[in-house]
């Protein structure tokens, strides 16, 4: 291991531990609001990991989209709808659902672990280069132009669909 990356490794493990604790609390919490707030910790941790990987654009997008918009939408939704805002003992899933969820989690772990190990083998990152935002935008608007446009249209369709579903008249 390169001496340069020691500090980053330590930071990675601290943040990762916080994220795991947060993620466990999200699913075990009896209070819907608390679960949403623990999710903030997990998503902020993900943003911090992106910064450790020297991709600031992705990190800031994570903050803007997930923390600034999606979490706020969650909290907003919980407060506006008639969901119980206090502690709720029925919040847990049935036993059968738990087993299915656990199975899927193990499957995902195996799949992603295998693809990561297989994909990178013994590659060391060496000196991390800061990923400039201009590089990101250049690649989006040249190499990945078609997927980008297709995604945009997909999102637009979802947006219009949401409006159509929500409108009463």
Partner 1 sequence: MTLLLASFAPPYWLSTLIKVLVISAVVPTTALILGMVFLFKIMSWMQSRLGPQEAGPRGTLQLLADGVKFLQKEDIAPNGADLWVFKVAPLVVLMSTLLLYVALPASMHLVVADLDVGVFFVLAIASLSVIGVLMAGWSSANKYSLMGALRAAGQLIAYELPMVLAVIGVVIQAGTMSLNGIVLAQNNGSIFGWGGIGFPYILTQFLGFFIFIAAVQAELTQPPFDMPVAESEIVSGYQVEYTGFRFLIFFLAEFATAFAFAAIAAVLFLGGWAVPWLPTASDWYYVLGPMVLFAKVMIVSFIIFWVRFTYPRFREDQLQSLAWKVLIPLALVNIVVTAVLKVVL
Residue ranges that bind partner 1, judged by CB under 8 A: 33-34, 37, 40, 56-57, 60-61, 63-64, 67-69, 71-73, 75-76, 79-80, 85, 130, 132-133
Cα atoms in the Cβ-side hemisphere of radius 13 Å centred on 80: 6
Question: Least distance (Å) from partner 1 to the CB of residue 33?
Answer: 6
Please list, in sequence order, all residues whose beta carbon lies within 8 angstroms of the beta carbon of residue 78, skipping any fewer than 6 positions away: 32, 33, 36, 85
Question: Least distance (Å) from partner 1 to the CB of residue 75?
Answer: 5
Within 10 A of 50 (CB to CB), how many other CB atoms are there?
A: 19
Token pair for 113:
């672990």
CA 17 to chain centre: 16
Point out which residues pair with 31 in neighbouring strands. Answer: 87
Within 10 A of 97 (CB to CB), how many other CB atoms are there?
A: 10
Question: Least distance (Å) from partner 1 to the CB of residue 84?
Answer: 13
Question: Least distance (Å) from partner 1 to the CB of residue 64?
Answer: 4
Q: Which is nearer to partner 1, 19 or 44 (CB)?
A: 44
Q: Which is nearer to partner 1, 30 or 98 (CB)?
A: 30
């Amino acid at each position: 291991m390169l001496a340069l990356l020691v500090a980053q490794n330590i930071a990675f493990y601290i943040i990762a531990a916080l994220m795991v604790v947060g993620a466990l609390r999200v699913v075990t919490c009896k209070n819907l609001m608390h679960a949403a707030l623990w999710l903030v910790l997990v998503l902020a941790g993900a943003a911090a990991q992106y910064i450790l990987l020297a991709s600031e654009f992705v990190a800031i997008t994570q903050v803007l989209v997930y923390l600034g918009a999606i979490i706020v939408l969650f909290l907003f939704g919980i407060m506006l709808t008639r969901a119980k805002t206090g502690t709720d003992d029925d919040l847990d899933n049935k036993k059968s659902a738990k087993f299915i969820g656990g199975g899927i989690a193990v499957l995902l772990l195996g799949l992603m672990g295998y693809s990561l190990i297989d994909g990178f083998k013994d590659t060391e990152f060496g000196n991390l280069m800061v990923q400039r935002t201009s590089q990101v935008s250049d690649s989006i608007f040249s190499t990945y132009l078609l997927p980008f446009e297709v995604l945009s249209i997909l999102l637009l369709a979802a947006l219009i669909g949401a409006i159509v579903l929500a409108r009463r008249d």
